[in-house]
Amino acid sequence: IYQSTKVLVTATIGGTGFIPFTGLDVTSYVRLATVSGNSSVVSLSSGMAVGNGTGNDTITLTGCNSQIPITTANVSVQSSRARISSLNVVMITGSAIQTSPPSSVSTNQSLSTSRFTASVTMRHVLSAEGNSGNLFVYAGFNDGTRMDITKRTGVNVTSASSRNLAVTGSSPAGWTGTVPVG
């Protein structure tokens, strides 16, 4: 089995009189293909690039206007196997926005030229019986890469102490951890 990775396509959107917006995730709005058209090295499915055999290929966008500059991604699948060196389970119970957008824009600015910076922090808070969160499983490899294996067939998540955390769910649907009541 070769490694796989999530494919992310970002765009910069702007125009005359507009501040460019960079890093906009447009992955779900584009069609991806390999230049070779041969899936023996890498295949693309549901936003994932999956290694199928050793070799090199290039991922590109298809069906785009020829005037849109496109950057391709080179993919190299190698025969040296990366070995799993760690498994990490992460629970997310919610999120918090650190900086909210401004409630108004001054008359000297238009919506197209105003800016603000926001960040989101993922939460892990279980403060009472019955609280729960989604569990995510990551494999760390000896080559320094990490891969989300939460929805991989065959992954199983259990609790070391069901008195402290009850785990429900299955692969590939995913898992939930809940603080038992009582």
Residue (of 133, 132, 143) closest to 81 by Cα position: 143
93-119 tens-digit pLDDT: 998 877 766 666 666 655 555 666 677
Are the CB atoms for 90 and 123 separated by under 8 Å? no
What is the spatial distance between Cα 123 and Cα 135, in angstroms, rounded to a whole number? 12
pTM of the model: 0.58
Q: State yes or no: pLDDT of 79 exceeds 90.
A: no
Are the CB atoms for 138 and 97 separated by under 8 Å? no
DSSP state of 97: E
What is the spatial distance between Cα 39 and Cα 43, in angstroms, rounded to a whole number? 5
What is the spatial distance between Cα 57 and Cα 123, in angstroms, rounded to a whole number? 39
Is 168 or 25 the better-scoring residue by pLDDT?
168
